[in-house]
């Protein structure tokens, strides 16, 4: 046999082995089609939360007498960091705190306000920061205020009076009281939630679904009669512990309040107490499953709703985060409560949550990371300054860039399956099958396309073909990456191991852009498709 024949036989043998073994390495694929639209991305997806808990308010955003504060008591370094985060809407004042909070204690001359026992988080509430101080803070950072009324120990009349104080220009007693306190113009607060986590046995004034729905309906009636244009958020389920039935709670609330409220609030915290990276990185998919279940419940009730020209009910994920280290009796109480120190894997989970919100932009119209400063927060302070936690950076990239229309992207990559594990304290065991190593969302604003990619793989870079199915890539692609030397890398005072790095630009032309996503990374690509 001549040399040519030998080469042909060897080639055939090689191809046969490849076909049998499947050893051809094919790139992962992400397909982007500008015509496959999910929904408009609401700017309220990039919200946050300020609760009177630990050092979130006192020693966080508000620190009277500190050389770092302005003459109003606001920490100037915190103001700058919050502005850079582009917080679009901020929930206040709780949280568990609100179920025993009486707003009247926090207005008027500061030295005349009564200190109270704070029963939710075991601390003294001085009430030196209240409604008007928060609104000054909100105006300073350019965020939409979102207030929560006390549906625990509070009354429906108290809720109505707070709306009157905030939203009525003049005339009735509480509007005139605001003017007497030095604020002649109403704050015109649009978003109000009807309590917090009322299905939770831990909540002060906890109610069953039927009793909560009755109280919320009557509070809503008084509040809307006072300020007809406000938007109301009902307390959906936050209790996924054994023997709880969150879907039954949500179904009842939606049925009873389907003509009353504008959003259903959902909460979820996750963690990695067993130090299983791959289990932990899959937790945003549990949030996505819960989103789809509630979306179905909403659709069923909307068939029989009488809402006139109002929008259907949407979902507000108005508490979400990673929270598991500072979650025992010692770390959940007092002035240093809930002070988590976040690492890279936490930041990747947050990027996964944000991807879920984008992928479900048709139904999720509000999201609030809990919380803003010190308390399970992206910003951490001491008496001398602050540092930026790892979870800050993906939220900042999304908030500054991911706007417009959410796109339904196709992803083809290797998958993995998890063990059975708890997603959070006391919550039921779950297991995830076929978790893609690449977690992807995309948005289009005109011809600009933002592609967000988490590479969950702990060790492997993933070469990926990004394919445009409705045009060609044009011009430069700007690339931003959040990563670190290991998934346990974290930031601290004077040390930044994880941050956003601008990786430069690459030229793109044609229908295919190939990029290698580094292991354990979040990457955001800014493209143009013509």
Can you give the pLDDT at residue 361?
A: 98
Count of CA atoms in the C-beta half-sphere (13 A) of 371: 26
Q: Give domain 38-406's CATH number out of 3.40.50.2000, 3.40.50.920, 3.20.20.80, 3.30.360.10.
A: 3.20.20.80
**CA-to-CA separations, 277 to 201, 280, 314, 421, 490, in angstroms, rounded:** 31, 5, 32, 12, 15
Question: Mean pLDDT over residues 269-288, rounded?
Answer: 97
Instruction: Residue 391: name the closest of 269, 275, 516 by CA.
Output: 269
Judged against a pLDDT cut of 50, whether residue 10 lies above it is answered with: no
Instruction: Residue 525: name the closest of 485, 460, 468, 484 by CA.
Output: 468
What token pair was written down for 295? 């979306």
> Which residue in the list 125, 133, 197, 481 is annotated as catalytic?
197
3-state secondary structure of 132: helix
Q: What angle do CA 246, 249, 250 make, to 5 degrees?
A: 85
Question: Mean pLDDT over residues 285-314, rounded?
Answer: 96
Cα 347 from Cα 456, distance rounded (Å): 12
Cα 108 from Cα 372, distance rounded (Å): 25
Question: Mean pLDDT over residues 287-314, rounded?
Answer: 96
Can you give the pLDDT at residue 425?
A: 75
Can you give the pLDDT at residue 11?
A: 45
- Residue 243 — very low, low, confident or very high, per pLDDT cuts 50/70/90? confident
Q: Residues 316-325: pLDDT tens digits?
A: 999 999 999 9
User: Residue length, the chain?
Assistant: 530
- Residue 329 — very low, low, confident or very high, per pLDDT cuts 50/70/90? confident
Q: Residues 170-204: pLDDT tens digits?
A: 999 999 999 999 999 999 999 999 999 999 999 99
Cα 206 from Cα 199, distance rounded (Å): 6
CB within 8 A of 239, min separation 6: which ones? 197, 199, 200, 201, 246, 249
Can you give the pLDDT at residue 203?
A: 97
Q: CB–CB of 369/350 below 8 Å?
A: yes
Cα 248 from Cα 246, distance rounded (Å): 5
**pLDDT higher at 371 or 242:** 371
What token pair was written down for 222? 């008084």
Question: Mean pLDDT over residues 301-322, rounded?
Answer: 96
384 is catalytic: no
Can you give the pLDDT at residue 3?
A: 46
Can you give the pLDDT at residue 426?
A: 78
Can you give the pLDDT at residue 25?
A: 59
> Which residue in the list 51, 301, 319, 345 is annotated as catalytic?
319
- Residue 58 — very low, low, confident or very high, per pLDDT cuts 50/70/90? very high
Q: Residues 333-370: pLDDT tens digits?
A: 999 999 999 999 999 999 999 999 999 999 999 999 99
The partner residues of 387 in beta bridges, in order of sequence, read 380
**pLDDT higher at 426 or 262:** 262
Helices 131-141, 156-167: axis angle to 10 degrees equals 50
Instruction: Residue 194: name the closest of 153, 235, 162, 242 by CA.
Output: 235
Helices 156-167, 173-180: axis angle to 10 degrees equals 50
Taken in order 300, 302, 303, 305, the sign of the CA dihedral is positive
Percentage of the residues of the chain whose pLDDT score is greater than 70: 95
Judged against a pLDDT cut of 60, whether residue 208 lies above it is answered with: yes
Residue identified by tokens 């109610």 is 207
Helices 209-226, 246-257: axis angle to 10 degrees equals 40
Can you give the pLDDT at residue 485?
A: 97
Q: Residues 475-492: pLDDT tens digits?
A: 999 999 999 999 999 999
**pLDDT higher at 6 or 190:** 190
Judged against a pLDDT cut of 70, whether residue 20 lies above it is answered with: no
**pLDDT higher at 243 or 453:** 453
Cα 364 from Cα 320, distance rounded (Å): 13
Q: CB–CB of 380/490 below 8 Å?
A: no
Question: Mean pLDDT over residues 41-50, rounded?
Answer: 98
Instruction: Residue 266: name the closest of 254, 255, 276, 278 by CA.
Output: 254
Count of CA atoms in the C-beta half-sphere (13 A) of 203: 25
CB within 8 A of 488, min separation 6: which ones? 343, 344, 345
CB within 8 A of 410, min separation 6: which ones? 29, 30, 31, 33
Count of CA atoms in the C-beta half-sphere (13 A) of 479: 20
Extents of the domains making up the chain: 38-406
Instruction: Residue 130: name the closest of 105, 167, 100 by CA.
Output: 105
3-state secondary structure of 141: helix
Judged against a pLDDT cut of 60, whether residue 391 lies above it is answered with: yes
319 is catalytic: yes
Can you give the pLDDT at residue 2?
A: 53
């Amino acid at each position: 046999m001549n040399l040519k024949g030998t080469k042909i036989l060897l080639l055939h043998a090689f191809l046969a082995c490849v076909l049998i073994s499947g050893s051809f390495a094919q790139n992962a694929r992400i397909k982007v089609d500008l015509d496959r639209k999910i929904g408009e991305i609401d700017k309220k997806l990039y919200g946050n939360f300020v609760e009177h808990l630990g050092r979130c308010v006192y020693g966080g955003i508000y620190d009277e007498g500190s050389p770092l504060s302005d003459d109003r008591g606001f920490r100037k370094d915190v103001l700058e960091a919050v502005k850079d985060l582009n917080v679009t809407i901020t929930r206040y004042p709780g949280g568990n705190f609100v179920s025993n909070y009486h707003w009247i204690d926090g207005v008027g001359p500061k030295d005349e306000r009564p200190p109270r026992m704070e029963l939710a988080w075991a601390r003294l509430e001085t009430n030196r920061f209240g409604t008007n101080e928060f609104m000054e803070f909100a105006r300073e950072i350019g965020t939409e205020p979102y207030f929560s009324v006390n549906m625990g120990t509070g009354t429906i009349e108290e809720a109505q009076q707070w709306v009157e104080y905030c939203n009525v220009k003049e005339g009735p007693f509480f509007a005139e009281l605001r003017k007497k306190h030095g604020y002649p113009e109403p704050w015109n607060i649009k978003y109000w939630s009807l309590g917090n986590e009322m299905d939770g046995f831990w909540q002060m004034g906890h109610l069953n679904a039927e009793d909560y729905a009755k109280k919320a309906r009557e509070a809503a009636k008084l509040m809307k009669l006072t300020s007809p244009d406000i938007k109301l958020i009902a307390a959906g389920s936050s209790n996924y512990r054994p023997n709880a039935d969150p879907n039954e709670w949500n179904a009842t609330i939606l049925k009873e309040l389907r003509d009353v409220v504008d959003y259903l609030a959902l909460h979820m915290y996750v963690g990695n107490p067993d130090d299983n990276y791959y289990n932990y990185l899959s937790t945003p998919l549990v949030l996505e499953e819960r989103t789809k279940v509630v979306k179905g419940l909403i659709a069923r009730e909307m068939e029989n709703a009488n809402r006139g020209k109002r929008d259907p009910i949407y979902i507000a994920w108005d508490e979400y985060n990673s929270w598991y280290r500072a979650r025992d009796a010692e770390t959940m109480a007092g002035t240093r409560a809930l002070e988590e120190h976040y690492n890279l894997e936490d930041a990747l989970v947050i990027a996964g949550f944000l991807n879920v919100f984008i992928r479900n932009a048709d139904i999720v119209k509000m999201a609030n990371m809990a919380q803003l400063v010190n308390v399970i927060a992206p910003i951490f302070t001491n008496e001398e300054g602050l540092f930026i936690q790892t979870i800050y950076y993906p939220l900042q990239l999304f908030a500054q860039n991911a706007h417009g229309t959410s796109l339904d992207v196709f992803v083809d990559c290797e998958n993995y399956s998890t063990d059975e594990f708890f997603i959070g304290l006391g919550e039921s065991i779950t297991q995830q099958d076929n978790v893609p190593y690449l977690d992807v969302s995309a948005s289009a604003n005109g011809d600009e396309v933002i592609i967000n990619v988490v590479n969950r793989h702990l060790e492997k870079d993933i070469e990926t073909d990004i394919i445009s199915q409705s045009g060609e890539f044009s011009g430069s692609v700007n690339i931003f990456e959040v990563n670190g030397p290991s998934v346990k890398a974290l930031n601290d005072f004077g040390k930044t191991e994880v941050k956003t790095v601008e990786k430069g630009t690459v030229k793109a032309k044609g229908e295919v852009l190939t990029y290698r996503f580094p292991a354990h990374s979040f990457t955001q690509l800014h493209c143009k498709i013509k």
